[in-house]
Amino acid sequence: MTDAKQMIDETVKANDVVLYMKGTKSMPQCGFSSKVAGVLNYMGVDFADVNVLADENIRQGIKEYSDWPTIPQLYVKGEFVGGCDIITEMTLSGELDQLFDANGVTYDKDAAEKIREANA
């Protein structure tokens, strides 16, 4: 499991935005992963996706790494942000925009606004 944690740590630190998910950003394999990947894709965020279904050690390791029991898990600039519910709330409140702005992550502000308008 140490190798998995080391791989996770390196991936999280090497990429500005990383989503540990079931499936891939182009082919999510669960509704929660699909929702978060969909938001990031729609907002034009450049993010690394890690398919936890491809490696059981990573699937278990990410839960220990973050001390968070569920997948998907979003990381921005090496910091764990949250899972589907938290990302959804942050998107609708504008907190995700603020987090991206504070960390120099490029995204489509108009797309973020459209998500909020559609869910108002």
22-45 residues labelled b (16+ CB within 10 A) or e (exposed): bbbbeebeeebbbbbbebbbebeb
The token pair at 79 is 């910091």
User: Does 84 count as an annotated binding residue?
Assistant: no
- Binding-site residues sit at 30
- Binding-site residues for [2Fe-2S] cluster sit at 30
